[in-house]
Amino acid sequence: MKVAIVGAGAVGGLLTARLGATEAEVTLVARPNAAAAIRRDGLTMVTPLNRVARLHPRVTDDSLSLGHQDVVILCVKAHALRGTVDTLAPLLGPETAIVPMINGVPWWYPHGQPEPLADRPLRSVDPDGLLWRSIDPDRVVGATTFVAVEGDGPTRIRHISDQRFVFGDAADRDRPVVDRIVTLFGQAGFQPARTADIRQAVWVKLWGNLGFNPLSVLTGATLGRLCNDPGTRDVGRALMLEAKTVAERLGVTFATSVDERIAMAAGVGEFKTSMLQDYEAGRRLELDAILGAVIELAERVGAEVPMMRAVLALVDLRARERRSELAA
């Protein structure tokens, strides 16, 4: 199996290291500076048991050199997907599956769904429909992951905890490639599962991102602190309940309660969320996919989400001020 991993961030690095140890032909597609650094220094991975592994994965900044792949895994931020369109094109053969490993509501979410979705792109994550036109949702194998991983530049990653991945066809079909992907991740030592309802899995993951990532930016607190402090826990819970209402009006049925999901997040411990890591580095935050898209869906189903709107306004201002500070 030929697998291309697009994006040399923390998750992209983890998948490159672990999937690269299987029999699959795995190549990391990175930006020129990151690719050069990895070729020069290799990739260092620190495991949850504090074991250090140094690897020299196959890496390139030229996707045209790879040819068609069986699977392309997108490990970039949701707002950076538009920048991958030209990179993706040379990798896609007639049967290539695309696996977006991204946070928030993905651009493919309305694919094959009834009203009020009905194959209409979400403005918040795909404002002009570029992703919908360029990355065919019919190719997509939806994915969610609960791994906690931190990156320190392009050459060093620290895997904090968890091994779980969930995969499912975006059009709810029984595609053999989904089983092949699950098998590959199992061979890499992860804990993968296949689901017949990938959208439900997206919402369970989104609960944690939506409930606590924005609060981590406002407070600077770790995930464990946010979940265990009574005040921030209540705010996160309120955000999650608003999201639950939106999801249920879209036909999603939850097998997990909000409190169970908070307990799951608390179990990660003293971990800086990816959004807090981005905020501290002055990078753009995934607010559109994690909050903006849910607010847009709330408008489609007629749900009120006042807590979400308030938190989005606060975090957006704080992020803009942070970027101004770093630019001064």
Known catalytic residues are 205
Joined tokens for residue 157: 């990653």
Distance (Å, rounded) from C-alpha 65 to C-alpha 85?
16
State how far the alpha carbon of 97 is from the alpha carbons of 29, 72, 79, 128, 165, in Å. Answer: 16, 6, 21, 23, 17
Q: Distance (Å, rounded) from C-alpha 195 to C-alpha 142?
A: 10
Number of Cβ within 10 Å of residue 280's Cβ equals 13
Instruction: List, in order, residues 6 or more apart from 209 with CB less than 8 Å away.
Output: 103, 104, 273, 275, 286, 290
Give the integer Cα–Cα distance in Å for 138 and 97: 9
Cα(60)–Cα(66) distance, rounded to whole angstroms? 9
Q: Which two tokens stand for residue 194?
A: 């296949």
Q: Taken in order 260, 266, 268, 273, is the CA torsion positive or negative? A: positive
The two three-digit tokens of residue 159, written as one number: 């895997």
The maximal CA–CA distance of the chain, rounded, in angstroms, is: 53
